[in-house]
Amino acid sequence: MSEPIRVLVTGAAGQIAYSLLLSIAKGDVFGKDQPIILLLLDITPMLPVLEGVVMELQDCSLPLLRDIVPTDKEEVAFKDLDVAILVGSMPRKEGMERKDLLKANVNIFKSQGAALDKYAKKTVKVLVVGNPANTNCLIAAKSAPSIPKENFSCLTRLDHNRARSQVAIRCSVPATQVTNVIIWGNHSSTQYPDVHHCKVNMSGSELACFDAVKDDAWLKGDFIATVQQRGAAVIKARKLSSAMSAAKAICDHMRDIWVGTPEGEFTSMGIYSTGNSYAVPEDLIYSFPVQIKDKTWKIVEGLAINDFSRSKMDATAAELIEERDTAVAFLGV
């Protein structure tokens, strides 16, 4: 058995964490021989609830779980971290302007970025889930100058999984038969689910997605809208936001960072845009197609981008620039 790794989950008393913690603690993410110390951070009023979560984790009697540290203190939660999964954020409340939401979250992620900078290992892998995830991730990265920008990513794997699943359902194949969908841009309703490079394995032969689906109007219309609006549709139906599917996507994202992506396949994650070859503006956290090896991502290069894709990629970039500029203005406050 190797040394335990220290894994932080913030918002640890919330519903996404409740769906996530068991998978991490039983080895689904970092491997079946990797012991774990779980650090669970939440705000002070949630500590009694968090204590209940700790009891349940103890009652699971898990061989890999070496310790559980529930806390409301950043200096405890961020100490010597190997992995930080930042789920907790200020949710949008009724009547709240987007700029108010950004301002509240700038304060949270500025503080957590500074705590990462001060207490965590410089090799820490940071995944931001709390919305607006891309901009929250950018603020955290800017607030942790001693940690490499490439160690920060935000979750667009849920959107990636949603896109993959919609194509699979349409083609009546398992989702594993659908590869190389791409989510470009923001984890918001401007994101662009792109299937121009997607492959579908049907009856043993690999087809381009447009040839497999045979419905270009759907792929360029309802498919995109369904993926963009899926979170809202879940809330409308369930009266709660996506938790089970978000937790699964977090596990997929972190496992790919830890063990790498399968040969020839790529995934989607929000990463630092500086130096990309797709004419996406610099200094954003923007979702790209990536391949991962040795815990290091590389953007998939050389994909042809048609005019349809370009306009959608530019629209989501424009939203991210506006978010970034609003948030960075608050950083100086």
Please state, in angstroms and rounded to a whole number, the distance separating the CA atoms of residues 120 and 2.
20
Side-chain half-sphere of 189: how many Cα atoms within 13 Å?
7
**Choice among 160, 187, 197, 253 that is catalytic:** 187
Beta-sheet pairing, 192-194 with 152-154:
unpaired
CB within 8 Å of 103: residues ≥ 6 apart:
330, 333
Catalytic residue flag (residue 197): no
130 is in an annotated binding site: yes
Distance, in Å, from the CA atom of 99 to the CA atom of 112, rounded to the nearest integer, reads 20
End-to-end CA gap in the chain:
47
Q: Provide the token pair at 151.
A: 């160690």
Q: Is 307 annotated as a binding residue?
A: no
Grouping H, G, I as helix, E, B as strand and the rest as coil, residue 222 is helix
Least Cα distance to 23 among 38, 41, 10 occurs for 38
> How many CA atoms lie less than 13 Å away from 245 in the CB half-sphere?
17
Q: Is 324 annotated as a binding residue?
A: no
Residue pair 145/117 in contact by the 8 Å Cβ criterion: yes
129 is an annotated ligand-binding site residue: yes
* 105 marked as part of a ligand binding site: yes
DSSP string covering 127-150, please?
A: EE-SSSHHHHHHHHHHT-TTS-GG
Which of helix, strand or coil describes residue 198?
A: coil
Residue corresponding to tokens 């939203």: 319
Task: Tell whether residue 98 is among the known ligand binding residues.
Answer: yes
Check the annotation: does 42 bind a ligand: yes
**DSSP per-residue codes, 60-126:** T--TTEEEEEEES-HHHHTTT-SEEEE---PPPPTT--HHHHHHHHHHHHHHHHHHHHHHS-TT-EE
Beta carbons of 103 and 124 less than 8 angstroms apart: no
- Known binding site for substrate: residues? 92, 98, 131, 162
- Annotated active-site positions, please? 187
- Known binding site for NAD(+): residues? 42, 105, 129-131
- Known binding site: residues? 42, 92, 98, 105, 129-131, 162
